[in-house]
Every structure is written in structure tokens, then in C-alpha cells.
Chains A and B, each alone.
Chain A
Amino acid sequence: MTDVTRDEYCVIAVAECFRGDGEILCNPIGTIPMVGGRLARETFAPDVVMTDGFATFTASMLAPGFNPYGEADGRLTLDEVVESWNPYPQMFSVLWNGKRHVMMGASQVDRYGNQNIACIGDWHHPRAQLLGFRGAPGNTINHTTSYWVPNQTPKSFVEKVDVVSGVGYDRAAELGPGASRFHEIRRVVSNLGVFDFETPDHAMRLRSVHPGVAVDDVVAATGFELVIPDDVPETRAPTDEELRLIREVIDPRDLRKTEVKP
């Protein structure tokens, strides 16, 4: 398969994060994460539950950017098959209950998987205010979390994040086993490769490079010393059926290509 593009390797890498998760809420945030999650559900992770991005768990495909909500005769209409109503107050119950694997963005991520989406600079005097802590502290301490970084550079893969929003392995270890027992940072997927924390001290390891990317490219785009195995595999290619699903069924408008250049 020679015509597979970078965005599609990213989709596969995201989907693989959810392999083996069973019947949990698979909750990817962002375009490529959403396409990858939908692909996992359509193929090797059929039991996962997914949201419509608003207030339901949906059985429908719902391409990225599609808003199923409408109005007719003054009433709310929904162009989707709803498994369950899940408004925001309920979402916090789901996530504190633990049956969730979220993939969030990260303005900065560091060696031990600490993530920052709050601000750049000192929190008390931010140079650039970003989203705020949002759900990151609660997510990372309550259930499995992965991250998606569409533009890996030494400014996004940093030695130490400016503000710890999502909790990494070093911070979790400081808390001890009681407070950190639900903590797991599964993977980081970027436009260049896939990373995990499957090392003795949970320092970030290069798990695979996307085809067309050299290990040196990844090193140059990383602001700290990565753990690099002797033999770094390539991110696996999609099967013909996966490629058909991505291009024709899940993301026919090619929105994934706006997040990562092919």
C-alpha cells in the first residue's frame, strides 16, 4: 500500500491505543483522534462506547464535524441512534467511575507524560493563557489517558511542562499507590510517531515511527532525551478494509488532512 498518507498512519496509531479496552467509553478529542476511535470501534474494538461529542453515547458513525442536533416544530431533533443520554453532569460520574479512556490534546507533554493545556509561562502571570486545566487533572487520576500532538516540536515535547494539567508518572509515583491506582498514561501519538511509557522508570519511549520519518527526525523534534530501543519499528499500515473505512465511511470529507499534512 504505497499511497497511504501520514494522516492515515496517525489514524491507525490512534486506533491501536484503544485495542483491548473492552466495554469502556472510548473518548478521543480532536479530528484524527475521533477518526481513529471510530475506526477501532468499527474493527477490532467493537465493544467500546463513544459519544456524539455533545450529550449522548451514540451508536451512529457521525463523521467528524457533523452535528446531529436540529429542530423541528420547536422541538429538538437528533439525527443519530442514541444508546444513552450523557449530559455533562453525568460525564463526570462516568469518568470518576473509571470506565473511560480519553485521548486529549497537549500543548506541552514531557518525559514522564505530564501534560499542559492551561497556559504557557508562570501560571500566576501567564505569557499565553490557553484552555485552563479543563478536565485533565480529573481524567488522569481517574482513568486511562492518551495524548495527541499533531505538530511535534521541541516546544511541544518539553523537558518539563510549564504547568502540570494532566498528571504524569513521576507525579503519580509521588502520590503513592493509593492515590495513583487508577492512573495510566497509555500512549502519546504525534505526527511523527508513537510513544509509550513502558520503561522501568516510566520515561517516555519511542514505540514506532510513522513511515517516512527517521528516528533522528523524532529526536530533533523532542526537547528531552527519549528512550530509544535498538530496533524501532514503523507504525503499522492500515489494511485495505481499514483504509476504505477511513476514506469512504468515517471521514469522507478528509477533515483528518487539515490536522496533519499528508
Chain B
Amino acid sequence: MAIPDKRTTEEEVVAELRDGMTIGIGGWGSRRKPMSLVRAILRSDLKDLTIVAYGGPDIGLLCAARKVRKAVYGFVSLDSIPLEPHFRLARQAGTVEAMELDEGMLLLGLQAAAWRVPFLPTRAGLGSDLLRVMPEIETITAPYTGETMVAMPALELDVALIHQNRADQGGNGQFLGPDLYMDDLMAMAAKRTFMSAEKIVPTEDFPRYGSFHTQRISRLMVDGVIEAPGGAHFTECPPDYGRDEAFQKEYAATASSPEAWDEFRQRWLDLESEADYQAAIAARTGGAR
């Protein structure tokens, strides 16, 4: 059989995006984020986005660049730096709307969208202020027991962006780290999914890297594949590479002043292409990662 060829580039993906779209971003905190796609959005004129994520520097960078109208998240953290400083600034300045969920509710919202049902019931949220500050999240009476449950609404995505360790040209993906996170749910909750990967390999080569249990993303869920070596930088992407803690620290420190952020942005983000970014990073670290 012939595997379809869905290979594309970060620039072509961004050309498919529109102002105001709801975009899900895979990974977790500062772990295996599709950062090359985030950087491409940062280079674009896109604005008023709704970002849905287990948030890390993806949400922080997009907030700092004023691309985000609304963030939907269970947390926003850099892991080794618990609070994402650019996201904090945006929340405290009131420049970003928030839908702040229990982590499990976020899973259920994505699962509901993936299964094409309007909501899924859960106890999570009952009694907390979550339902008070976000009255758009309703409760429901269980028809069998009469119990009150939270009806977590489906979080339908226009587009999902995920990053895997390996992929084939047809959009099958393989994760080789400890955790898939919610990448499969993101992919299924979205009308269209774009997947970057450290390396595009022939389908028959997947077993060289990991057991078939690691092949959790099917081309059924994927519309475009981008080869992006280093694409998750500066978040971690084990076993290919760990987090670039020094770079992350430098990024986090730029929340201290608009000047520091401008300087960071000019140096690392206002580049022509992802290739230029990777070359600059390689030069910074002397070629080692």
C-alpha cells in the first residue's frame, strides 16, 4: 500500500490559520510542546486566538506577543519554574480572558469533543469556586441517581498542534518519552491537526525506535506532518533531548521589563524561519544540545 504524503511546513500550516481560531496545543507544561509551530505563529500577523492547553511557554510566549484573546487551561507552568511569568503578567494586566479548569475537566472537555458529545459528567468542580467564576459551566442531574454532576462542555478545536518524536509522511506518530499527555485527544477534538516530529521515518522503521505501543497517533487524526528537528526546543523532548533550562531561565527573566522582552523577541523570535532559529540555538550552545 502507499502511505499518503501529508508533509508540509510550519509556514504552510500558519497560512491555514485565521484570526479568532481556537487552537489546541499538545504536550504538558514545558514538555514536548510543538514549539516550532508556536514560533511560526509568533512570526505571523495572527491575533485573537483562543489557546487550549496544559499550558507552558506556548501560552506564555503567545500571551507576551499579544496573540491570545482567551486561554483555556488547567495550569500554566514551566515545570522547573512553577509559575509562567509572561502568562501571569497577562492575567494580572487583564489582557487575556481565562477559562481556568481543573486538569481533569480539561481532559473531559477534549474527550467530549473527540467523541462528538456535548458534555461529559464529572464530580470535579463541585463545591469549588470554579463553577462560581465560570457560570457558563453548567451542572446536570443524573437521570439514574438524581445526583448533581458537572456537565463539562466539549472543547471543540478548530486546529490542534502536537509534536511527536517520530512520524511517517502519512501522519502516523510515535512518542518515545514517558507520557503521551493528551495529544491524541487534542488531535481528535480538532477539525484539523498538524503534527510536527523530530524525524520523519518510513512507516516500517517505527519498531527501530520503540514498541508498537508507542505508536499512539494515527493518520486518521492528522492532516499535515512537519519534520522539525529540535522542534520542541526549549521544552523537553526525551529521549531526543531534555529541556534547555538555561534558555528557559533566560526566557522567564524577560518578564521583568518590556525592554527585556523586546530584546529577547528580536534576538530569538523575529527571525526569518525556524531554520534560522535552530542555527542561532546551535551557535549559542556550540552545536551541542
Contacts and interface: CB of A to CB of B under 8 A. Distances in A.
Contacts of A75: 176, 209-210, 239
A71 B180 contact: no
A167 B123 CA distance: 12
Contacts of B88: 128-129
Interface string A211-250: 0000000000000000000000000000000000000000
A74 B147 CA distance: 50
A141 B122 CA distance: 10
A140 B104 CA distance: 12
Interface of B: 28, 73-77, 82-83, 87-88, 91-92, 94, 100-105, 107, 122-130, 133, 145-148, 176-182, 185, 209-210, 238-240
A131 B83 contact: yes
28 contacts: A54-B178, A69-B238, A74-B239, A75-B210, A87-B178, A89-B181, A89-B185, A92-B104, A92-B107, A96-B104, A96-B123, A96-B124, A123-B100, A132-B75, A133-B100, A133-B103, A134-B74, A135-B74, A138-B104, A138-B105, A138-B123, A141-B128, A163-B129, A165-B128, A166-B128, A178-B145, A179-B127, A180-B127
Given A89-B181, A141-B125, A180-B126, 20 more contacts: A54-B179, A70-B239, A74-B209, A75-B210, A88-B103, A89-B182, A92-B107, A124-B133, A127-B92, A129-B83, A132-B73, A132-B75, A133-B101, A134-B74, A137-B126, A142-B123, A163-B129, A171-B127, A179-B123, A179-B148
B127 A141 contact: yes
Nearest to B236: A69
Chain B residues touching A, majority SS: loop
Contacts of A3: none
A178 B75 CA distance: 29
B289 to A, nearest CB: 12
The 5 nearest A-B residue pairs measured at CB: A138-B124, A71-B239, A55-B178, A167-B127, A137-B128
A84 to B, nearest CB: 13
Contacts of B210: 75
A89 B180 contact: yes
Contact of A164 (B73, B75, B104, B127): B127
A26 interface: no
A125 B74 CA distance: 18
Nearest to A174: B127
A12 interface: no
A95 B177 contact: no
| Best-buried of A70, A128, A129, A172 by chain B (most CB within 10 Å) | A129
Given A76-B178, A129-B88, A132-B100, A142 B82 contact: no
B118 to A, nearest CB: 20
Given A76-B178, A87-B180, A88-B181, A135 B104 contact: yes
Nearest to A85: B178
B92 A134 contact: no
A123 B145 CA distance: 33
A183 B126 CA distance: 11
B238 A136 contact: no
A178 B142 CA distance: 11
Contacts of A172: 127
A130 B83 contact: yes
B103 A92 contact: yes
B182 A131 contact: no
A48 interface: no
A129 B126 contact: no
A4 interface: no
Contacts of B75: 131-134
Given A137-B130, A138-B103, A171-B127, A87 B179 contact: yes
A103 interface: no
Nearest to B54: A88
A102 interface: no
A118 interface: yes
